[in-house]
């Protein structure tokens, strides 16, 4: 299985901050990486696919980059609605795997 490691596990930030979350794969996954946002009690929501493609309707303050084994999700200016959990997912091969998640909390 491909292991996905996210860092940090928790991130404390303020409204307006630039925030970066990293996801590392245990082997190359090309650009087959997605990012999801999840709020308490809700299903995950797809934000980015193919490492950097923004899903329709997702604000442009979200961006993704990377290829191979290292990827980042950046929120350019954190908004109150962005305090949530974020998960990366590799879909290069079966079994599909997720990172352990990053909680973005209010500083």
Partner 1 sequence: EVQLVQSGAEVKKPGESLKISCKGSGYSFTSYWIGWVRQMPGKGLEWMGIIYPGDSDTRYSPSFQGQVTISADKSISTAYLQWSSLKASDTAMYYCARPRSLGTGTSPFDPWGQGTLVTVSS
Residues found near partner 1 in the complex (CB under 8 A): 1, 32, 34, 36, 38, 43-46, 49, 55, 87, 89, 91-101
Q: Which residues are within 8 A (CB) of 40 and not within 5 positions of it... i.e. 6 or more apart?
A: none
- Do 63 and 53 form a contact (C-beta atoms < 8 A)? no
Closest approach, Cβ 46 to partner 1, in A, equals 4
List beta partners, residue 20: 74
List beta partners, residue 106: 13
Minimum CB distance to partner 1 smaller for 16 or for 41: 41
Minimum CB distance to partner 1 smaller for 83 or for 98: 98
Angle, vertex CA 79, rays to CA 74 and CA 80, nearest 5: 130
Closest approach, Cβ 95 to partner 1, in A, equals 4
Minimum CB distance to partner 1 smaller for 28 or for 93: 93
Q: Cα separation of 105 and 63, whole Å?
A: 19
Closest approach, Cβ 15 to partner 1, in A, equals 25
């Amino acid at each position: 299985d491909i292991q996905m490691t996210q860092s940090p596990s928790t991130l404390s930030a303020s409204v307006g901050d630039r925030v970066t979350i990293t996801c590392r794969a245990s082997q190359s996954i090309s650009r087959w990486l997605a990012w999801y946002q999840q709020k308490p009690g809700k299903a995950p929501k797809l934000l980015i696919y193919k490492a950097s493609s923004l899903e329709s309707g997702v604000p442009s303050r979200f961006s993704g980059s990377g290829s191979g084994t290292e990827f980042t999700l950046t929120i350019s200016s954190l908004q109150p609605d962005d305090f949530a959990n974020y998960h990366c997912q590799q879909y290069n091969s079966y079994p599909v795997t997720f990172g352990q998640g990053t909680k973005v909390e209010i500083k």
